[in-house]
Amino acid sequence: MENLKIGGKDPSGEKNSRGAVAKKDKTGGPKPGAKMKEVKKETGLGLSHKKDENFGEWYAEVVVKSEMIEYYDVSGCYILRPWAYSIWDTLREFFDAELKQSGVKNCYFPLFVSSNVLEKEKNHIEGFAPEVAWVTKSGQSDLEMPIAIRPTSETVMYPYFAKWIRGHRELPLRLNQWCNVVRWEFSNPTPFIRSREFLWQEGHTAFATKEEADSEVLEILELYRRIYEEYLAIPVIKGKKSELEKFAGGLYTTSVEAFIPNTGRGIQGATSHCLGQNFAKMFEINFENEKGERAMVWQNSWAYSTRVIGVMVMTHGDDKGLVLPPRVAPVQIIVIPVPYKDADTQAIMDACSETVNNLNSAGFRAEADTRDNYSPGWKYSDWELKGVPLRIEIGPKDIAKKQVRIVRRDNSVKKDIPSDNLVESVREVLESIQESMFKTAKEKRDACIVKAKTFEDFAAAINNKKMVLVPWCDEEEVEKEVKARTKGETGAAKTLCSPFDQEPVPEGTLCFATGKPAKKWTLWGRSY
């Protein structure tokens, strides 16, 4: 596994021969000749909510206590702390390198967009209108014309596509920008999942033919799958959105869909849209083709955001805190010294330092926790809360036996390994953790997918927190009716996607909602 690193802490109060403090007399000092025992006290690090009992409160608590985010004084806005931003950096480095290799170039367009440009594509702005934030004043003076803060950048960028594209030699034009966007009007903000400002990448491209555009849509979607499955260890389903759920103003939308078993809700992980020629018509993005004829370009847009971090927390976290996949963990291995009274503390510290150096030299992300004002048990708790995939403990017995003890964050399994085989052993364990996390998440997700052929079975499965695969007639009005019929306190069911990987619909199969001939299998569920 490339570039892996780990760190972890154990919040348990169990006896551990590797960490100890002396018994104290009534004055608070250590008794002469007293044996050592594990510290028995509250660490203040544990979570007060259980994931299975109160998911919302658990999530809100874990993202703060693990130092992923801090709340800001503007509702719906959050500070991304280094522990979270490092994960974003890792994903950005992967995706950016893939884009550059495929010929996409980075750029940056302004945050502001004039109202007349934003409103040029009517269907598009109608889809975003409730979320658009407007700048109306400069100091104490009203602006002559309100200026919008971008909710997305189609209308910001495409007037300049029209300026830059003249002939077929300027095509394809493939641009990407890493930026922030603002979407203001919503209720129940949730860190990473629904925020008024968030970070993302947005790609915008133009081609001479629809075939080229169609091909890119799927190429980008595959990169999004890799982000979720290969880096974040989250299983996703690739598919096509319904007409009702597609991007406003676009021709069609594809997506990767994840699922949170604890809440029974799907979550859109990333989208890759074919915009067709609609925006090209609105913004007059024309070119002269090889035959000397005037033609309109075919366009795509695609994006993923810091939402991916929230999906990761929801998928893998447990009652001890975060559980981070090794490939994205800011620290992959945390090395903790476990001294005894009268032990050679300097020798233990030297062994920890050497271990960290060897691991970092091998390409891992490793750190040592040498803080002397906390017990080993407290440190275990701290690093477990932060989700570091692997903990290494080194005490005097380990030095004597030329070994270290490793403890996995994902399943708490402990193992002693020889020091001279450290790098290879750690590599194997981290790869095992990454694979095991994906396998476990997929098993839980798959157990939540139910097939139904009648509305009654469909509704029962939805109310049982399942994703439901049903035969559907693919009619927009039917989707609206199903939404209305399933609306409840926890929201209505809607289409998530029609999976690309699906069996043919047997002849004579009827739509689950109308009894009309079914055209496809479609996944439905409640969603974020």
User: Residue 401: is its pLDDT beyond 50?
Assistant: yes
* Cα distance between residue 455 and residue 499, in whole Å: 20
Q: Say if CB 258 and CB 235 are below 8 A apart.
A: yes
* Cis? peptide before 151, omega within 30° of 0: no
pTM comes to 0.89
pLDDT of residue 340: 83
User: Residue 35: is its pLDDT beyond 60?
Assistant: no
- Which secondary structure element, helix H or strand E, spans residue 175, and what is its range? strand 173-182
pLDDT digits over 238-271, tens only?
Answer: 999 999 999 988 999 999 999 999 999 999 999 9
Closest CA to 36 of 340, 387, 424, 450: 340
Domains in the chain with CATH codes: 55-316 (3.30.930.10), 333-435 (3.40.50.800), 449-526 (3.30.110.30)
* Cα distance between residue 112 and residue 97, in whole Å: 28
pLDDT of residue 127: 66
pLDDT of residue 6: 34
The total of other beta-carbon atoms located within 10 Å of residue 77's CB is 15
What does residue 466 show for φ and ψ, rounded to 5 degrees? Answer: -115, 160
Instruction: Work out the pLDDT band at 20, boundaries 50, 70, 90.
Output: very low
Q: Say if CB 276 and CB 124 are below 8 A apart.
A: no
CA dihedral 128, 247, 454, 503 (to 10 degrees): -160
Closest CA to 327 of 231, 423, 235: 231
- Which secondary structure element, helix H or strand E, spans residue 312, and what is its range? helix 307-316
Which pair of tokens denotes residue 136?
């109306």
User: Half-sphere exposure (CA, 13 Å, Cβ side) for 260?
Assistant: 25
pLDDT digits over 94-129, tens only?
Answer: 999 999 999 999 999 999 998 888 877 666 667 667
Instruction: Work out the pLDDT band at 184, boundaries 50, 70, 90.
Output: confident
* Cα distance between residue 381 and residue 66, in whole Å: 11
pLDDT of residue 18: 38
Helix (H, G, I), strand (E, B) or coil at 83: helix
Angle at alpha carbon of residue 232, lines to 226 and 235, rounded to 5°: 65
